Amino acid sequence: MSSQPVADAAADAAHSAAQGGTRQAHKGQQTKATIVDAALSLAAQVGLEGLSIGALAEVAQMSKSGVFAHFGSREELQISVVREYHQRFEAEVFAPAMQAPRGLPRLRELFERWMQRTSVELTSGCLYISGAVEFDDRPGPVRDELAGSVRIWLAAIRRAIVQARAQGHLRPEVDADQLLFEIHGLILALHYEARFLQAPASIERAVRGFEHAIARYLTPADAPQASALARGARPHPVPAPAARRAGHS
């Protein structure tokens, strides 16, 4: 009797098992993505420190053991949320801005998209900012993940400043680190003024502050445009903050 049918049957069984394993892995990934999405929404309201396996299980309508199977610990859950937030931030702010021409146009696009993202988050809070308040004096993997994500983003802004200098849009003596510090400071001030103090015209002041900051280093060819922008014109409309809701600052 030929052994070929037996071999074929064994091969079919192995193939079916492999397909089943692939489907199961894909389902597991989808479930984990769903949990992370729910955790990100929850963190926007209660902060990273407010996240717990139990609270997330309730929001995601899962058992605690089901959530625990995907993360294993509260710390791993928090890190997953930070990574997801960073990926979405890059997709909404960084990636589209890279389509702008290198130099000052790209630097402006990065800032404008950062502003738009911040204005949307005025109702829920920025995870980078709220996370810094929670973990500034708490060493560990969550703080490291948060700080690393912020450093990656700030490095992108600094690179755009350096490129603007190389393209001749900014003067050679521009201090990239100082200009980066001032731009970052504008975003932090906007979040505090608009979200905590609910000060009117905060967004417009931040935009004007950006133009004033770069105006000091512009080459003569770019100075007229910056002067107009600094007086109040904006290249793209920035949405006004939505009505405030209770949440984590």
Q: What is the pLDDT of residues 116-132, one digit of tens each?
A: 888 888 877 789 998 99
CA distance 76 to 244: 30
Strand partners, 218: 170
Amino acid at 159: R
- Tell me what pLDDT residue 245 has: 38
Separation of alpha carbons 21 and 16, rounded Å: 9
Among 18, 104, 38, 32, which residue's Cα sits nearest to residue 67? 32
16 forms beta bridges with: none
Q: How far apart are CA 232 and CA 176, in angstroms?
A: 25
Can you tell me which residue has the tokens 């204005």?
A: 119
State in words which class domain 1-72 has.
mainly alpha
Please provide the distance, in angstroms rounded to a whole number, between the alpha carbons at the two ends of the chain.
Answer: 76
Tell me the torsion sign for CA atoms 206, 210, 213, 216.
negative
Question: Is 47:248 a contact under the CB 8 Å cutoff?
Answer: yes
User: Which stretches within 47-140 are classed as H helix?
Assistant: 53-60, 64-71, 74-89, 95-97, 104-120, 127-135
Q: Which CATH superfamily is domain 75-240 in?
A: Tetracycline Repressor, domain 2 (1.10.357.10)
Q: What residues have CB less than 8 Å from 245, skipping those under 6 apart?
A: 123, 124
- Express each pLDDT in 210-221 by its tens digit: 999 999 999 887
Answer whether 1-72 and 75-240 agree in fold: no
Question: CA 139 to CA 175: how far, in whole Å?
Answer: 31
Domain boundaries, the chain: 1-72, 75-240
For every one of its 249 residues, what pLDDT tens digit does the chain have, with 9 covering 90 and above? 555 665 555 555 555 555 555 555 456 578 888 888 888 988 888 889 988 888 888 887 888 888 878 888 889 999 999 999 999 999 999 999 999 999 999 999 999 999 988 888 887 778 999 899 999 999 999 999 999 999 999 999 999 999 999 999 999 999 999 999 999 999 999 989 988 898 989 999 999 999 999 999 998 876 555 444 444 444 444 444 444 333 343
Give the integer Cα–Cα distance in Å for 79 and 188: 23
